[in-house]
């Protein structure tokens, strides 16, 4: 019997569902920029921002608190150290920044998944740090180690996320002083993408580095970056011991560090965008310079996390134009310094995967991409001003990141792209459906979203009239069901297990 129209629609929908829910973990995607950067400020404006940053370094100074060794390092470099306040010559700071590599590779244990940070490359990593998670089935709740492991597996399965990130959610069911061991263990065993280690205490940073040594080998660590840490400046103008000790731990081991001022305008920095960017630049340059005093040539990423806030309520806001402008500005400033930079992400203050989340995240991520960010933490999964990791949000954001790969690649103009021979079998007034050029290109000609529904109303209704959040819920479950841990030498797994067990047994649990 000839299938009815409804049966054909159902079969077509089933094929599309099978394809869209297929695992992606075998894919390797690269975001390589072939389009120009968006520079929004004139040379004069940029130079004025730089002059203000230099003034802050030289006249106001940066505090390095509760870390006597950090102060000694600055003092030995010739900086003016008065108590915990460090005033530094701006030219010397820039000379130190110039010692850091303009581009570097963070190696993954699967060499195909190693990432290039800097230059025309963009590296996308998931949300970092939320204590809560949310999904359509269970709502909002504290994150657990099971959630963390699921999120690592999901990140591994999503090809548009190049990097496993770090604290994709806090496993709040584990002791604070030991949970970093389980997190690093999960990154190393459930994924083969590069990852971030712990920074919350010197010992935890050192544990993370030691676990990387077990996986990669001590000799390899002397020459290659295999693990990075991400630290926030305690803005305004303060590096506390958490940040400075993490820089000393990672850079001292020749591993990477991302140094990020966290500025909410009107609270941790001035209310005006240019002033907040100038402060962030001074803070970040100070951190980069310090990293090079610890170990010249250590890989480092200059970061910026600047957002506005509601001056009526004090709540942080995301996806606003001021933050987008700061992304563009920090991109210009980082390129002038010759440093890779971190900025932006798919940021929103929304509590749910709703229209607000979509609009704010899209505006934030678009500015991030156009500004030329090289390393993008929070590229997927961020909800509720960073308090929540959303399962559905993670896969929805990852789908749009896949589209960004196409945008950043630009437009080819070779003979095939121009359709030089496309008119050989298509007469004027005819069509290109089924033509040789179309058949040769149809599989790759257009971006094919894994989650957007472009079918007819009838087909959508017959499929259950599912909105994007429901489709995303089905997708992350299908990806988890299909996930298989990438292969790892059993001897390495055994050594990691032994290290974690010994470290946990060496001290009592601490919950704060």
Does 236 share its domain with 207?
yes
**321 and 433 share one domain:** no
| DSSP codes joined into one string, 400-450 | HHHHHHHHHH----STTTTTTTTTSS--TTS--TT-HHHHHHTTTSS---S
- Residue 184 domain-assigned? yes
Distances (CA, A) of 10 to 1, 67, 364, 437, 454: 16, 65, 37, 29, 15
Residue 354 inside a domain? The answer is: yes
Using DSSP bridges, classify how beta strands 341-343 and 104-106 pair: parallel, antiparallel or unpaired: unpaired
Output the 3-class SS for 92-121: HHHHHHCCCCCCEEECCCCHHHCEEECCCE
269 lies in the same domain as 174:
yes
**Based on the domain organization, do 183 and 130 belong to the same domain?**
yes
**Which ranges of 31-144 would DSSP assign to H, the alpha helix?**
43-55, 68-77, 90-97
Q: What CATH number is attached to the domain comprising 398?
A: 3.20.20.480
Alpha-carbon span 363 to 323, nearest angstrom: 10
Please indicate, yes or no, whether residues 314 and 443 belong to a single structural domain of this protein. Answer: no
Last residue of a domain, one of 429, 448, 467: 448
Residues 249, 386 within the same domain: yes
Distance of alpha carbon 228 from alpha carbon 106, whole angstroms: 8
**Phi-psi category of residue 59: left, alpha or beta, with phi > 0 → left and psi -120 to 50 → alpha:** alpha
Instruction: Going residue by residue through the chain, which has 512 residues, state the pLDDT in tens, using 9 for 90 and above.
Output: 555 545 544 555 555 555 555 556 678 999 999 999 999 999 999 999 999 999 999 999 999 999 999 999 999 999 999 999 999 999 999 999 999 999 999 999 999 999 999 999 999 999 999 999 999 999 999 999 999 999 999 999 999 999 999 999 999 999 999 999 999 999 999 999 999 999 999 999 999 999 999 999 999 999 999 999 999 999 999 999 999 999 999 999 999 999 999 998 888 999 999 999 999 999 999 999 999 999 999 999 999 999 888 888 888 888 899 999 999 999 999 999 999 999 999 999 999 999 999 999 999 999 999 999 999 999 999 999 999 999 999 999 999 999 999 999 999 999 999 999 999 999 999 999 999 999 999 888 999 999 999 999 999 999 999 999 999 999 999 999 999 999 999 999 999 999 999 999 999 999 98
Mapping DSSP onto H, E and C, the string for 219-251 reads: HHHHHCECCEEEEEECCCCEECHHHHHHHHHHH
**64 in any annotated domain:** no
- 101 domain-assigned: yes
Question: Which of 409, 440, 466 is a domain's end point?
Answer: 409
- For 129, other C-beta atoms within 10 Å of its C-beta total 18
Distance between CA atoms of 100 and 373, rounded to whole angstroms?
17
Question: Both tokens of residue 37?
Answer: 């950067």
Q: How many domains does the chain have?
A: 2
Q: What is the pLDDT of residue 73?
A: 98
DSSP-assigned beta bridge partners for residue 376: 124
- For residue 258, the surrounding DSSP H or E stretch is strand 256-264
* Residue 459 forms part of a structural domain: no
Judge contact between 42 and 56, C-beta under 8 A.
no
Helix pair 145-157, 179-190: axis angle to 10 deg: 30
Residues 443 and 321 in one domain: no
**Of 207, 193, 286, 191, the residue nearest 250 (C-alpha):** 207
- Token pair 């974690």 is found at 500
Residue 367, domain extent: 97-409
Strand 388-390, strand 382-383: pairing: antiparallel
**Sign of the four-CA dihedral 202, 208, 210, 212:** negative
Both 436 and 290 in one domain: the answer is no
Distance CA 329, CA 397 (A): 24
Q: Does any domain span residue 403?
A: yes
Q: How far is CA 31 from CA 48, 121, 335, 425, in A?
A: 32, 6, 18, 35
Is residue 235 one of the residues assigned to a domain?
Answer: yes
Instruction: Return the structure tokens found at 210.
Output: 């030691």
In a domain, 462, yes or no: no
The torsion defined by the Cα of 186, 188, 189 and 194, in degrees rounded to 10, comes to 100
Confidence at residue 8, expressed as pLDDT on a 0 to 100 scale: 46
pLDDT, residue 489, reads 97
Q: Whole-angstrom Cα distance, residue 502 to residue 242?
A: 24
Same-domain pairing of 375 and 426: no
pLDDT at 13: 52
Looking at the fold, whether 372 and 442 belong to one and the same domain comes out as no
Q: Are residues 261 and 240 in the same domain?
A: yes
Do residues 292 and 148 share a domain? Answer: yes
């Amino acid at each position: 019997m000839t299938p009815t129209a409804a049966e054909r629609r159902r079969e077509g929908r089933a094929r599309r569902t099978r394809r869209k829910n297929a695992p992606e973990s075998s894919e390797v995607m690269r975001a390589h920029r072939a389009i120009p950067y968006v520079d929004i400020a004139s040379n004069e404006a940029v130079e004025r921002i730089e002059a203000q940053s230099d003034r802050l370094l030289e006249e106001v100074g940066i505090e390095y608190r509760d870390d006597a060794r950090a102060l000694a390092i600055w003092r030995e470099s010739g900086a003016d150290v008065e108590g915990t306040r460090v005033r530094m010559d701006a030219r010397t700071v820039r000379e130190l920044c110039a010692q850091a590599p303009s581009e570097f590779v963070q190696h993954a244990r699967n060499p195909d998944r190693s990432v290039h940070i800097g230059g025309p490359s963009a590296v996308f990593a998931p949300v970092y740090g939320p204590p809560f998670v949310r999904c359509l089935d269970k709502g909002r709740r504290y994150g657990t180690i099971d959630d963390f492991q699921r999120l690592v597996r999901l990140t591994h399965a999503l090809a548009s996320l190049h990097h496993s990130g770090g604290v994709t959610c806090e496993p709040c069911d584990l002791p604070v002083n030991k949970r970093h061991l389980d997190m690093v263990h999960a990154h190393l065993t459930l994924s083969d993408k590069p990852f971030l280690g712990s920074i919350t205490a010197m010992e935890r940073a050192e544990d993370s580095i030691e676990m990387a040594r077990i996986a990669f080998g001590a000799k390899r660590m002397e020459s290659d970056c295999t693990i990075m840490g991400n630290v926030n400046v305690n803005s305004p103008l303060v590096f506390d011991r958490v940040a400075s000790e993490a820089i000393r731990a990672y850079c001292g081991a020749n591993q990477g560090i991302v140094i990020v001022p966290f500025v909410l305008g009107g609270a941790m920095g001035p209310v005006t965008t240019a002033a907040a960017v100038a402060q962030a630049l001074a803070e970040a340059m100070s951190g980069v310079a310090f990293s090079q005093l610890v170990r010249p040539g250590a890989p480092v990423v200059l970061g910026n996390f600047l957002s506005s806030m509601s001056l009526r309520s004090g709540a942080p806001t995301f996806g606003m134009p001021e933050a987008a402008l700061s992304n563009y500005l920090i991109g210009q400033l980082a390129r002038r310094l010759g440093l890779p930079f971190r900025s932006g992400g798919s940021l929103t203050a929304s509590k749910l995967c709703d229209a607000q989340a979509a609009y704010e995240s899209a505006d934030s991520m678009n500015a991030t991409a156009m500004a030329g960010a090289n390393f993008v933490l929070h590229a997927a999964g961020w909800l509720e001003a960073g308090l929540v990791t959303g399962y559905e949000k993670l896969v929805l954001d990852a789908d749009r990141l896949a589209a960004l790969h196409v945008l950043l690649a630009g437009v080819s103009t070779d003979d095939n792209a121009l359709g030089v021979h496309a008119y050989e079998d298509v007469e004027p007034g005819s069509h290109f459906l089924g033509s040789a050029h179309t058949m040769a290109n149809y599989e790759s000609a257009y971006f094919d979203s894994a989650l957007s529904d472009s079918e007819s109303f009838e087909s959508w209704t017959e499929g259950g009239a599912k909105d994007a959040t429901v489709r995303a819920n089905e997708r992350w479950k299908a990806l988890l069901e299909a996930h298989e841990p990438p292969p790892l030498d059993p001897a390495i797994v055994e050594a990691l297990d032994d290290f974690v067990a010994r470290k946990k047994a060496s001290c009592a649990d601490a919950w704060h």
